[in-house]
Structure 1
Amino acid sequence: MDTDRRRGGRGRAVRLSALLGCGVVLLAGCGAMPVTGDVKAVDASQPGDAQVQVYAVPPREGAAPIEVVDGFLESMTSDDPDFRTTRKYLTAEAARTWQPGEGTTVLAQAPNRNGPTIHDKQRRTTGTTYTLTGEQVAAVDAQSSYRPLAPSEYSQMLHLVRQKGSDGKQEWRIDIVPDGLVLGQSDFKRLYRSVNKYYFAAGRTDDESALVADPVYVRNRTDPVTRMDTATQTVRTLLEGPSNWLRPVVDSRFPAGTALKSGVTSLAPDDENVLKVPLNKKAEKAGQGACRMMAAQVLFTLRDLTSARVGQVELQGEHGPLCSLGSDEAEEFASDDGSDGPDSQYFVDDEGHVQRIPGSSNGSGDPEPVTGPLGSGTVAMSAVGVARDEQQAAAVSADQQHLYVSSLTEESELSAPVVSSRAKEPADRLSAPSWDGGGDLWVADRDPSEPRLLRLVDGAGEPQEVSVPGLSGGRIEALRMSADGARIALRVSEDGHTTLHIGRVERHGSEEAETVSVEDLRRAAPQLADVTAVSWSGRSRLVVVGKEEGGVQQVRYVQADGSTASSGVLPGVNQVTAVAAADDEQLPLMADTESDGIVKLSPGDNWQTVLKKGSSLVYPG
């Protein structure tokens, strides 16, 4: 449990570590409790330390109310099967009705308990109340979807009564308890891990399919309620369908009602790396084409679980195999209209021309002007956005007033601007542009008198204004579209701060008369009071530059659900003004800095200067 609180009482759960001859071994991975060597209680001093496991112990005979409360809270942090031991702290009725799977409240620290409170002096020996308090920073719903929250006050009641036990003695037990679990951040990170389940972007044909990551949190080890291992939990959540937030913009190819075959609690690939997934008879309704897409959903979902190493998925019905799909074959379902080779990097040089660093050089090649008027024209540019197929680009003029679109494959004259801003000041005009995976171009006009989010279908035609109902009084300063086109990351300024929000992109109507809106904006990384730059990094996360209130600038990864990991902070780099990451996470992270120019960070390396001059470096998208 979090080190800020030391719980007393003999009813507390026990944290154990085992030192065996082969080194430190995770007890959850042991077939049985060690019978040799020292066993000792340890302090969970390292947040999220998976090598610390909690074993629940029942309340002792004659335990005082405070011991019962502390034991119950500590027991919730264990891997107690079906929370059977945890329920021993409850009355029989409360133990029967308590639903620990209804969600998880995540607090900054372990919950404090205040009390006791006696409402009726005549009943002080038969009933008492404790209040659980803390600072809530996140909530995980029954679908395992995580939502970060701006820190807020948490307060819930635990009521205890004296009841006659099986031996006839009076014992204190909890009879009023909120459903779900209440955990401090460090215990939550120790017990759970973020994984991505995948669905297909809605409104596209099978030939245009694009997979969308839907992050959820599952147990690191066996889930106490379902008794499923991590891989099986992940497949189960996939079959249950997308999270409520993402549901309006994605589809699952699994027929309604599809579930794992009853009794399946473990999934693991065989010696040939083939994972066989037994499903109920509902799955047999799918045709072969849909079945292969179902298998692709499973393959991409389990790709994040490195321990699985799945090379092929075979979906099985009640009467045998339904279909199978290899990991190489699954790539055909991941289309985002990208180029065939590694993404190149693009930037604006000190003369306002767009240049390109070839993708094959891994960010280390010599820059070259792009083909067309953006690379050699007379209009100076300040920012650029490149379509994911690298066939065309959009650039904002140096005064940030006009947006131009041009081919990157043939020479031509610069066409008339596709968007212009009427704002008086450059900082109030156009943002840097961004392309989604479907080939549409997005830009924000920051004009205080008429702020707009605009979309141009295929980068051409009349700009379409996109409504953002949840924006309130904030102004969009910058935007980045996800490769799947289902989500948008927005830097929004309001009340002197610029914060990060993620919205769902909904499309309605026919292709000829399609309307688009950004719905259900969610604050991401709410601990960052000011966000300087953001870029999507792969399908499921973003790289964000920002700082906490009164803190220093940091570069860190943020999941698509807005959550952050303690290990997500990247090595320090100073005075970052912009950041760029590729869909391929093996390509280097790039950043614009005030002091060192454009720098890159390759996997496993340190920051290195690429160019002393230049700005607005981007990957396609």
Structure 2
Amino acid sequence: MTGVGEQRVPRRRRGIRGGALAGCGVIVLAGCASMPDGGGLESVEASQRPDSQVRVFALPPQDDAGPEAIVDGFIEALTSDDPSYAMARKYLTPKAAKSWDPMQRTTVLDDGPSRRPIGRAGTGDEGRLYQLTGRQIATVDTKQAYMPESRPYEGNLHLSRVETSKGKQWRIDSLPKGVILGQSDFQRIYQSVNKYYYAVDSGSGEAGSEKRLVADPVFVRQWTDPLTETVKQVLAGPTNWLNPVVRTAFPSDAGLKKGVGSLTPDDANKLTVPLNEAGSRAGASKCKEMAAQLLFSLHDLSSSSVSGIELKRSDGRLMCALTEDDAEAFVPLRASGRLDDQYLLDAKGRLVRMAGHSTSDRSPEQVLGPLGEGEQRLRSAAVSRDQERAAGVSNDGRSLYVASMVNGASLGDALVRSHSRSEADGLTTPSWDGRGDLWVADRDKKNPRLLMFGEGRADQMQEVRVDGLDGTSRIESVKMSADGARVALLVTEKGKTKLRIGRVERERDASGGTEVSVHELRPAAPEMDEVTAVSWAGGSRLVVVGRAAGGLQQIQYVPCDGSAATGQALPGLTRVSEIAASADDGLPLLAHSDDGVVRLPSGTAWQPVVKDGTAPIYPG
């Protein structure tokens, strides 16, 4: 509710869907109307529902507009689709307009800001001071990275009268950094794009070396040539959060050649990217890596149809070219093996395999090796991404085993045993990363810890330090990303289980070994009050099972950067305890619920798989 003396910034747009004027050059016009200086308090909606087909333009300040109208007009102009914020600057004094950097930061509020007059800044000040307030949910930094941050927001706008061609007019001379937007305006103006960089421990272009690309989500403005903006974002380097664990193939200070404006694919969907002198220093092998980064980044841009990249030096000479087929062979984004294979545990706790295609009616079949033969009854399992080995947690939750999935393989000793007195507090479901390392958490109340087994071997076990977790927090689930650079953790804090994403860092220690640690945990699915299950569903997306405060359980895809999910919740199930997704979005979701193991092919309802099965998984 709006407080005394405080008003919502009004929204008085006149909008038309772009499709109605497809043949006209105009998409939409929306005006910034001034607020009456008198009258009673009025509470108005600060943001409309986002509509990607609507384009909004602002109007300049009216002559002799009062200070409230200037404040409201400026806030409204921030929500326009003007790429340079030229109209917003008209509400500022010349000095403020020159120093204001709208790209410095974007503050996202759950609703648009409320403004409240607080009089003059001090004795002798003839200006006017207004306070902007709201509930902040996130910030977007100079690298366009989204960071959830829930807290009250306060910012001040100061106005003074300045001489103009129309006489003295009210203008803003002091303002908060960057841009302030409501969440729905942010979703309308910006779109999320994955740009790609290489894991720091992956290959560097030599023949036979392994290269793993890591998705780095950022936001670009939808109406400011997102293709060119995405290329610029890739060249600018990784976001601050991901930077310690990735590398870019582009030389330092690489950028587009001076004078290059908009980039447009040719009739064959090939995009030519002219680089500046710094970017031109790269050799042939590095050039291929650079082109692959751009090509995969543009694949994630919905408006892009680019199927090939051509990089040119500053003098116009060709550096290298890369097609889609070349890129897939050069940097495979998916694991080797049968990508559609799915796994689960049957009624006897044995690991079984089934075909991933929803049209298959074949019954699950036991995998080869001791974990499929039932030598050890299992409670949960994980299959390596190359599908050569499997890890399983014993039915009592206290022992972790790894075995090959071939005839004649032996089970061997447990890699680790939990000393938990309760089976519910034993080992979590294990998870393999793209490096071939195995992860699991021990929920023993006396000694909770996160463990990593290099190459899935007991002699390479180490306890992983997780920055940001105190003694009252406990890890309930561990899901490693395929690139090995990030980990999704379900963490119980103060009686509630939340989803956190951490950055996985590997550093050489004094003995020449590698010390692994998790840093800068950040919230994902912040709108959910409780999260029950999670699985990676691609480079920067997860599927989660959870509920909002006071709500029912739902299944939803969420971005890993903590930004708001824009898709609808998936069809519901009764009491879902486990969820699994593939990096290939053409494969169905798997879940374990009251109906047993079920799967959800695209565009259909949940279908039963095995009534008495549990622990459905994809490799990873």
Give the Cα separation in 2 of the matches to 1:39 and 1:107: 21
Q: By how many angstroms is 1:33 displaced?
A: 7.1
Using a 3 Å threshold, how does the CA distance of structure 1 residues 103 and 220 change in structure 2: closer, same or farther? same
Query: After superposition, where does 1:18-37 map in structure 2 within 5 Å?
Result: 23-25=19-21, 31=25
Contact 2:46 2:112 in 1 (8 A): no
Give the Cα separation in 2 of the matches to 1:189 and 1:198: 22
Which of 97, 105, 111 matches 2:99? 97
Q: By how many angstroms is 1:306 displaced?
A: 3.0
Which of 257, 262, 265 matches 1:261? 257
Is residue 383 of structure 1 aligned with residue 380 of structure 2?
yes
Calculate the TM-score normalised by the size of structure 1.
0.91
Q: Amino acid of the residue matched to residue 181 of structure 1?
A: V
Using a 3 Å threshold, how does the CA distance of structure 1 residues 295 and 30 change in structure 2: closer, same or farther? farther
Unaligned runs of 5+ in 1: 223-228
Range moving further from structure 2, 434-443 or 607-616: 607-616
Using a 3 Å threshold, how does the CA distance of structure 1 residues 485 and 122 change in structure 2: closer, same or farther? closer
Is residue 523 of structure 1 aligned with residue 523 of structure 2?
yes
Contact 1:248 1:506 in 2 (8 A): yes
Aligned to 2:168: 170
Give the Cα separation in 2 of the matches to 1:483 and 1:611: 27
Using a 3 Å threshold, how does the CA distance of structure 1 residues 508 and 119 change in structure 2: closer, same or farther? closer
Give the Cα separation in 1 of the matches to 2:164 and 2:185: 31
Q: By how many angstroms is 1:44 displaced?
A: 9.6
Contact 2:159 2:170 in 1 (8 A): yes
Using a 3 Å threshold, how does the CA distance of structure 1 residues 428 and 363 change in structure 2: closer, same or farther? farther
Range moving further from structure 2, 493-502 or 606-615: 606-615
Aligned to 2:501: 502
Give the Cα separation in 1 of the matches to 2:78 and 2:111: 14
Query: After superposition, where does 1:131-142 map in structure 2 within 5 Å?
Result: 131-142=131-142
Aligned to 1:415: 412
Secondary structure of 2:294's partner? helix
Aligned to 1:441: 438
Give the Cα separation in 2 of the matches to 1:90 and 1:81: 17
Q: By how many angstroms is 1:97 displaced?
A: 0.7
Q: Amino acid of the residue matched to residue 517 of structure 1?
A: S
Q: Alpha-carbon deviations, 1:69-89, whole Å to 9, x = none? A: 000000011122522221111
Secondary structure of 1:264's partner? coil
Query: After superposition, where does 1:217-616 map in structure 2 within 5 Å?
Result: 217-222=219-224, 229-319=225-315, 320-335=317-332, 338-359=335-356, 365-462=362-459, 463-473=461-471, 474-509=473-508, 513-594=513-594, 596-616=595-615
Give the Cα separation in 2 of the matches to 1:190 and 1:429: 45
Unaligned runs of 5+ in 2: 1-5, 34-44
Q: By how many angstroms is 1:600 displaced?
A: 1.3
Q: Alpha-carbon deviations, 1:405-462, whole Å to 9, x = none? A: 1111223332111110011001111000000001111010111111111111111132
Secondary structure of 1:564's partner? coil
Aligned to 1:212: 214
Query: After superposition, where does 1:59-78 map in structure 2 within 5 Å?
Result: 59-78=61-80
Secondary structure of 1:89's partner? coil
Using a 3 Å threshold, how does the CA distance of structure 1 residues 39 and 236 change in structure 2: closer, same or farther? closer
Contact 2:12 2:31 in 1 (8 A): no
Secondary structure of 2:297's partner? helix
Q: By how many angstroms is 1:193 displaced?
A: 0.3
Give the Cα separation in 2 of the matches to 1:46 and 1:161: 31
Contact 2:492 2:498 in 1 (8 A): yes
Q: By how many angstroms is 1:13 displaced?
A: 7.6
Q: By how many angstroms is 1:546 displaced?
A: 0.9
Q: Amino acid of the residue matched to residue 157 of structure 2?
A: L
Q: Amino acid of the residue matched to residue 70 of structure 1?
A: D
Give the Cα separation in 2 of the matches to 1:152 and 1:482: 29
Secondary structure of 1:244's partner? coil
Give the Cα separation in 1 of the matches to 2:456 and 2:30: 65
Range moving further from structure 2, 608-617 or 339-348: 339-348
Q: Amino acid of the residue matched to residue 60 of structure 1?
A: Q
Q: Amino acid of the residue matched to residue 371 of structure 2?
A: L
Contact 1:104 1:183 in 2 (8 A): yes
Secondary structure of 1:324's partner? strand
Q: Amino acid of the residue matched to residue 544 of structure 1?
A: V
Q: Alpha-carbon deviations, 1:284-318, whole Å to 9, x = none? A: 21111110010000000000123221111001112
Secondary structure of 1:598's partner? strand
Aligned to 1:154: 153
Contact 2:7 2:115 in 1 (8 A): no
Q: Amino acid of the residue matched to residue 358 of structure 1?
A: A
Give the Cα separation in 1 of the matches to 2:465 and 2:118: 51
Give the Cα separation in 2 of the matches to 1:314 and 1:337: 24
Contact 1:580 1:589 in 2 (8 A): yes
Using a 3 Å threshold, how does the CA distance of structure 1 residues 86 and 243 change in structure 2: closer, same or farther? same
Using a 3 Å threshold, how does the CA distance of structure 1 residues 364 and 388 change in structure 2: closer, same or farther? farther
Q: Amino acid of the residue matched to residue 59 of structure 1?
A: P
Q: By how many angstroms is 1:567 displaced?
A: 1.4
Contact 1:363 1:610 in 2 (8 A): no
Q: Amino acid of the residue matched to residue 290 of structure 1?
A: K
Which of 183, 186, 192 matches 2:184? 186
Q: By how many angstroms is 1:539 displaced?
A: 1.3
Give the Cα separation in 2 of the matches to 1:369 and 1:282: 56
Q: By how many angstroms is 1:47 displaced?
A: 1.9
Calculate the TM-score normalised by the size of structure 2.
0.92
Aligned to 1:225: none
Q: By how many angstroms is 1:104 displaced?
A: 0.4
Q: By how many angstroms is 1:170 displaced?
A: 2.1
Q: By how many angstroms is 1:173 displaced?
A: 1.0
Q: Amino acid of the residue matched to residue 139 of structure 1?
A: T
Q: Alpha-carbon deviations, 1:189-241, whole Å to 9, x = none? A: 0000000000000022231110000000000111xxxxxx1001011010000
Secondary structure of 1:24's partner? helix
Contact 1:342 1:360 in 2 (8 A): no
Contact 2:348 2:374 in 1 (8 A): no
Secondary structure of 1:569's partner? coil
Using a 3 Å threshold, how does the CA distance of structure 1 residues 55 and 107 change in structure 2: closer, same or farther? same
Q: By how many angstroms is 1:15 displaced?
A: 4.1
Give the Cα separation in 1 of the matches to 2:30 and 2:345: 62
Secondary structure of 2:112's partner? coil
Q: Amino acid of the residue matched to residue 283 of structure 1?
A: G
Q: State the identity %.
A: 48
Contact 2:252 2:278 in 1 (8 A): yes
Q: Alpha-carbon deviations, 1:136-180, whole Å to 9, x = none? A: 01110010000122x31000001111222223x221111110121
Query: After superposition, where does 1:39-50 map in structure 2 within 5 Å?
Result: 47-50=49-52
Contact 2:47 2:182 in 1 (8 A): no
Give the Cα separation in 1 of the matches to 2:101 and 2:331: 38
Using a 3 Å threshold, how does the CA distance of structure 1 residues 362 and 458 change in structure 2: closer, same or farther? farther
Secondary structure of 2:16's partner? strand
Using a 3 Å threshold, how does the CA distance of structure 1 residues 18 and 444 change in structure 2: closer, same or farther? closer
Q: By how many angstroms is 1:41 displaced?
A: 9.5
Using a 3 Å threshold, how does the CA distance of structure 1 residues 71 and 45 change in structure 2: closer, same or farther? closer
Secondary structure of 2:74's partner? helix
Give the Cα separation in 2 of the matches to 1:262 and 1:112: 42
Contact 2:466 2:519 in 1 (8 A): yes
Is residue 53 of structure 1 aligned with residue 49 of structure 2?
no
Q: Amino acid of the residue matched to residue 556 of structure 1?
A: Q
Using a 3 Å threshold, how does the CA distance of structure 1 residues 103 and 15 change in structure 2: closer, same or farther? farther
Give the Cα separation in 2 of the matches to 1:512 and 1:362: 51
Give the Cα separation in 2 of the matches to 1:502 and 1:451: 19
Secondary structure of 1:276's partner? strand
Which of 101, 106, 109 matches 2:108? 106
Give the Cα separation in 2 of the matches to 1:472 and 1:117: 45
